[in-house]
Chains A and B, each alone.
Chain A
């Protein structure tokens, strides 16, 4: 995958207000996502009430909000796991082709097949129309990307929780997707593993330049990783905030902490003005 040359901003002061998509490298296959008036109801329950969003190719978007705000439903619709009740959804890469089928997801649980070796699990990400030896070589490359080269022959049950989630990430990345959806992928990990996984996610995203949509309830994770944070509240976009800081970001940055505070206030504010 070639990576389009880009300018890296030296400090936040250099960054323009909202031209986020130029801050980061954009991968060749990265797709832009457009949502128009997207709605979803389960029975009489309106989970999404008209979402309008444009996510430029290569952008890292975090979607946060309280439980039940519709963020997971939004991700499931993006992945084609659920159909929207109303509205439109478009995926479009630089060549103008619809690449929804090429989108990949990492779930909260690794969801590895326990009866396949680590390498074979990654091969699952390439589909079954590919030559087995080519697929295995691709899997080995993806595993070295997530620093698990020495575990290719192990069973998933022999790995730690963080390692399993890295295998799941390798499985998602092995097909070089234009869009990577992440459904609270680090939610089940301990704090230290989570931080190293954040660094890993950030690094592979910068290298490969896919469009990333991260659903999380961890505000600091969202601020640390994303170009843009969207707060969902009762099925609507309550806040759409740009985080124009250069990557990689350091934990404990004062500007980021301030943004984190604003986002927390926005999420909790709807609770009755704390």
Chain B
């Protein structure tokens, strides 16, 4: 794909592909191109393992990982662990995200609320939430509460900060227009403030998704009796590198999936924005 999407650039690249005798339609190329690098990496990885450059004790081959996937799926261990982990992740997102969202809206709209809580939140934000793990284990043990607490805490701040920032940055002129046109507080919020803050809220959501997986991996590796993190940690004790790598792959896929869903929601909700129009 040419860097500069001009008619001339397009004509040049098109002519080049014709010369090479290989031609893909532009949309097909755009869909396939992002997968080229991952596929190449896996191919070289498999080659390295098959030829014997890489010891299987250090790194299993992609085929081994696929076999591990198949066997753990057959025993039902993998689906169960994925469900447990996903439930924890989205439970934390729901709790922490809601608290962050509500605080962000409240502090963006109300001066009193902002003066009351913003300083405290900004102070708490600077504590790395994973530093709470020892305390959380003392409080909740290794049960579900500890994971829920940590993920909630992790996602709360990015959602809070971006919601607050979004509400504060809604065009003052539009709010004034709404007032002149007789909008009440609720209508003003629904029609002007919330849609105006939405782009920023989505930035917070996607950032929170990253933190959500990170927190979950760490807390499941340290203190859990189920979930993908626990599966990986358990496999480590038996030197089952294939299962460890499988856990990493699953995390990558889940993370990507969550991001794809968030992006789709974003595109749907912000379709008025020229950036999201085709």
Contact = CB atoms under 8 A, between A and B. Distances in A.
Contacts of B277: 155, 157
Interface string A110-133: 010111100000001101100000
A109 B187 CA distance: 22
Given A107-B173, A124-B191, A128-B187, A114 B272 contact: yes
B177 A155 contact: no
B180 A115 contact: no
A133 to B, nearest CB: 18
A81 B181 CA distance: 11
B191 A116 contact: yes
B182 interface: yes
Contacts of B195: 113, 115
Contact of A155 (B176, B180, B181, B272): B272
A81 B176 contact: yes
B166 to A, nearest CB: 13
A125 B191 contact: no
Contacts of A127: 181-183
Contacts of B273: 114-115, 157
B184 interface: yes
A79 B180 contact: yes
B173 A109 contact: yes
B274 interface: yes
Contacts of A79: 180
Contacts of B11: none
A230 interface: no
Contacts of A171: 181
B18 to A, nearest CB: 35
A80 B182 CA distance: 11
B124 interface: no
A155 B276 CA distance: 12
Given A127-B182, A128-B187, A111 B274 contact: no
Contacts of B173: 107, 109, 111
A172 B274 CA distance: 25
A271 B196 CA distance: 44
Contacts, number: 49
Interface residues of B, number: 22
Contacts of B178: 124
B7 to A, nearest CB: 22
A144 B177 CA distance: 23
A80 B179 CA distance: 10
Nearest to A80: B180
Contacts of B187: 128
B191 A157 contact: no
B49 interface: no
A204 B237 CA distance: 82
Contact of B177 (A107, A114, A115, A116): A107
Interface in A53-112: 79-81, 101, 104-105, 107, 109, 111
A128 B183 contact: yes
B270 to A, nearest CB: 8
Contacts of A111: 173-174, 176-177
B222 interface: no
A155 to B, nearest CB: 5
Most buried by A among B173, B182, B183, B274: B182
A113 B174 contact: yes
A114 B178 CA distance: 13
Nearest to A101: B182
Contacts of B191: 113, 116, 124
A113 B192 contact: yes
Contacts of A113: 174, 191-192, 195
B274 A157 contact: yes
Given A80-B180, A81-B176, A111-B173, 16 more contacts: A104-B180, A105-B180, A111-B176, A113-B174, A114-B273, A115-B195, A115-B270, A115-B272, A124-B181, A124-B191, A125-B181, A127-B182, A127-B183, A155-B277, A157-B272, A157-B277
Interface of B: 173-174, 176-184, 187, 191-192, 195-196, 198, 270, 272-274, 277
25 contacts: A81-B179, A104-B180, A104-B181, A105-B180, A107-B173, A111-B173, A111-B177, A113-B174, A113-B191, A113-B192, A114-B272, A115-B196, A115-B198, A115-B272, A115-B273, A124-B178, A124-B181, A125-B181, A127-B183, A128-B183, A155-B272, A155-B277, A157-B272, A157-B273, A157-B274
